[in-house]
Structure 1
C-alpha cells in the first residue's frame, strides 16, 4: 500500500504559512463535470461480483466507496486501488456474507447511486442487506436525533446501566452502536424524548442527561481510568456513525494497550496466502495468524509503503481506510487480498420485538445477569418494532455455554423473537471438485505477489509516523 500525507496550510500557532489558493468549490465542480462511473460486473468472475469505480480523485473518496460497501454487509475479498494525478480507478471483489454474488437489482442500483454525485439531489432508496438490516436515507439517524457518545473502560453491564439511566430520564433509545477493543468501549446512542418521540434540543436537559450518564460511568471507574461522555443535539453533516466510532477509539487511545505488532516482510504475505490455500480454508490457520505491520519509505516516489498481514474479519478494509484517512494519509496504490475464514466475533443474537420503554435496558440486564459480555451491538427501531444484533462471549471472552443461552431465551421470552446463531466464518465451504495439481500450482503462483491487508494498528503507525513521506510542493 503506497501512501502520502496531506498537508494543511493556513494560520496555525500564530504563524503564517503561504501557499497557492484553491477555490473550495473546485473539487465539487470537477466531480460534476466528470462524475464517478460505477460498473457492477457479474460476468467476469464465477464466485464474486466486481465493483469497478472510475472517478476524479479527492481526499476521502476511497473511504466513501468502502463505507458504502461495508454498510451493505458486503465482504471485500480483494481490492485493487490506483490513482494517477487527479483520477483514480478502483476494483473491489465482493460477495454477501453468505458467499453469494450480488444479484438483487435494488442492491446494485443502491451501490451505483450511492457512489455517483446526484445532480438532482435524489439519493438512493431503501434496501435490505443479506443480514436483514435496512439501509437508506430513512435509516441515517446521525443528523436527526440527539446523540450520546462515550468512551470508558469495558466491563460487563455497561450498556445495561447506560440504557437504564436513559429510560429513567424519560427518554428512549432509537438506535445504539457499541464497540469494544483492548478493554476499552466506545458507544454512540441516538435518543429521543419518550412523550414526543422527537430529538431533545433543550440545552439544560442535554446537560442533565450528560451528567447522569457520566455519574454512572464514573461510579465504576478506577482511580486512573479515563472516560469521556458527551451529549449533542441534532445537527446536519454529522460524521457517519461507524467512522465516528473509529474517531472515538482513536481519541481514547485504545491502541496504547499492548505491544506493537512485529514487522511484516514482503515474502511473508505470499507464504501466508499459500499456506492458507494449502490448508483448505481451515479456521485454525487464520485464527493462529498474528498481526504484522511494517512501514518502508520509497524516497524516489515520495511514498511510504505499508505492509500488513493479519487474520481477516468483517469490515477490515473499512477500518484500515478509516484509520489512514483520519490520520491525513492518502492511499495512492494498494493491493488487497484475503484468504481463509474471517475471525469469529462471538455468538450472535438477533432480536425482534414490539418496541417499548426500557426494552434495551431489560435485554442487556438479562445478558449481564447471565454472565455474558458484549463485544459488539447494533440496535434500532423501525416504527413500533425494535430489532437488534448482539455479539456475546462469556466474561472471559470465550465461548458461551448452551445451557446459559437457554436461560437467556427463557428470561427474555414473552413476545420477543430471539434467534441464536453461531457466527460463521467466511467464505462458506463450497462443494466443488479439487483442481488439478497443475491448476492448483498455477493458482498459488498467481497469488504469490498479492498483499493480504489486515488490521492496521494505530500504535505501529503513530510510533513510526516520522517514516512517512510528505507531499512535495
Structure 2
C-alpha cells in the first residue's frame, strides 16, 4: 500500500524551528567601529519577511537607520544597519541593546513573531477597530462622537489619510469595565454605526469596518489596509506633495543578474525604510540586495533594492513596473503630515477626543493626521491641522482654540503657514486624525512634518 503524507502548518513551523536551531541567527552590535552610529549586524537563515521583522523592530524602538546594507541569497541573509537615537547619538542604553539581541538572536522566532504582529490574537484589555472610507471634513468628529455615544473610550489609535481615503486602527475600551467589549450585539451596533458614518453620501467607494480582540502592528496594518483599498490609484499629484518634494521612484531591469532594481530618492525621515520594505514584502517581492544611505536630519535619502517576485521572476511588464512605482510612492506619502502641529497633554477623561475634535471642526480646521494615546491616566495627543478650505491658517483661530482648550494643555509646534503658501492639496483630502499614539512631546516640527 502506498503511504500518503500530508503537510500542515504545524509541520512547516517545526521545520522552520529545526532550520533555525541548526543555523541560529547571529546578532553583533558594534559601538566602536563607526564614529557617529551604532552598527548592528544580523545574520540568519532566510525566510520571506525576515528583513521586515528586523527593520520593524528597530523602527519600533524609535531608532533612526542612517545607512544599511542588505544581502539575501542562497538561503541566508545578512543585514548591516547604522542606527542612531532621536537625539542623533549612538545607542548606548544597555536595556535597548540587550532587547535587540534577545529579539533577533537565537531565542527569537522571526516567522512566528511576525505573524503575531500583523494578525489578531485573543485579548481582554481592549477591542481593536479597523476603519477605512472616504475622507471628508468633520469625519473625525463624527466618528469620535459615535464612539462616545456608544460608551467606548479610545486608548490608542492611528489614522492616516491619503488620496481622499482615510484608514484607522483603534484600540477601544468599555467605559464602565475598562476592558474589551465582548457583547456581540454591541459590537455589531458599533460596526454598523461607524460604517454608516464612513460611507456618508459617497456610494462610489466602499467603506469597511472590522471589530476584533487582540493585538496588531498598527502601522503595518494601516499600510495593508490602504494597499488593499488601492489608495495608490489615481494619484495625479493634486492630492499629493508638491512636485519638488514628491518621491522619485524608478524600476529598471538588470538582465545580467535577472533582478529588477528599485531606486528611491526622497526627503529622509525615521520610518522611511520601514514603509518601503513593508510595501515590497506585502506585494510579495523579495529583496536580495539593498543599499540605504541617508545622513543628516534634513538630508535626501537614497535607497536601492534588487528584487524578484516570490515566484522567482523580476518585474515582467510595464504595467507591473508602474504598479510597483505607484505603490511605493503611496507608501511614502501616507506618512507625510501636512499642516501645523499641535500637541495636547492633559488628564484623560471620557469624551475628550470628541470634545477636542468638535472644537477643531467648529473652527474650520481639518486634521490631516494625528496621534493619540493614554499614558498613566494622561492623554497625549498630536494633531496636524490645516484650514478646511485649503488656505493658510489664521493665527487668531489657533489662539482662540488654545484659549478654549487651555494654553498650557494645547501647544503649537512649528510655524504657522505664510500667507503666500497656498495649499496644493485637494480639498477632499480631509481629516481622520485624532486617534494615534504619540511618541514624543519635545522638539519643534516644520509645517510639513516627516515622521
TM-score by shorter chain over 0.5: yes
Distance 2:338 2:176 in 1: 37
Q: Determine which structure has greater relative contact order: mean sequence separation of CA pairs < 8 Å that are 6+ residues apart, divided by chain length.
A: 1
Shift of 1:81: 0.5
Question: Who is 1:146 aligned against?
Answer: 127
Shift of 1:110: 2.8
Trace 1:344-383 onto structure 2 (pairs within 5 A).
345-383=338-376
Distance 2:392 2:272 in 1: 23
Superposed CA deviations along residues 313-352 of structure 1, whole A, max 9, x for unmatched, are 3311111111111111111100111356267643332322
Q: For residues 176 and 184 of structure 1, do their structure 2 counterparts lie closer, same or farther at Cα, with a shift above 3 Å needed?
A: same
Shift of 1:299: 4.0
Match among 372, 385, 388 for residue 392 of structure 1: 385
Question: Who is 1:175 aligned against?
Answer: 156
CA contact (8 A) 1:142 1:240 kept: no
- Which shifted more, 165-174 or 339-348? 339-348
Distance 1:406 1:141 in 2: 44
Distance 1:358 1:68 in 2: 33
Count of aligned residue pairs for this structure pair = 360
Match among 175, 193, 206 for residue 187 of structure 2: 206
CA contact (8 A) 1:313 1:344 kept: no
Moved over 6 A (4+): none
Shift of 1:119: 6.5
Trace 1:56-455 onto structure 2 (pairs within 5 A).
56-118=45-107, 144-219=125-200, 221-232=201-212, 234-235=213-214, 238-259=215-236, 288-338=244-294, 341=298, 345-395=338-388, 400-413=393-406, 417-422=409-414, 423-424=444-445
Distance 1:31 1:158 in 2: 48
Distance 1:66 1:245 in 2: 17
Shift of 1:56: 1.9
CA contact (8 A) 1:372 1:395 kept: yes
CA contact (8 A) 2:158 2:372 kept: yes
Shift of 1:400: 4.1
Q: CA RMSD in A?
A: 3.1
Superposed CA deviations along residues 280-330 of structure 1, whole A, max 9, x for unmatched, are xxxxxx982443322223344332221222233331111111111111111
Q: For residues 93 and 372 of structure 1, do their structure 2 counterparts lie closer, same or farther at Cα, with a shift above 3 Å needed?
A: farther
Q: TM-score, normalized by length of structure 1?
A: 0.69
Distance 1:180 1:173 in 2: 19
3-state SS of paired residue (1:254): coil
Question: Who is 1:3 aligned against?
Answer: none
CA contact (8 A) 2:26 2:106 kept: no
Q: For residues 157 and 98 of structure 1, do their structure 2 counterparts lie closer, same or farther at Cα, with a shift above 3 Å needed?
A: farther
CA contact (8 A) 1:347 1:399 kept: no
Distance 2:103 2:340 in 1: 32
Distance 1:387 1:71 in 2: 18
Distance 1:397 1:100 in 2: 38
- Unmatched tracts of structure 2, length 5 or more: 1-6, 110-116, 300-335, 415-443
Q: For residues 142 and 72 of structure 1, do their structure 2 counterparts lie closer, same or farther at Cα, with a shift above 3 Å needed?
A: farther
- Unmatched tracts of structure 1, length 5 or more: 1-17, 121-136, 261-285, 426-453, 455-473
Shift of 1:109: 2.5
CA contact (8 A) 1:141 1:190 kept: no
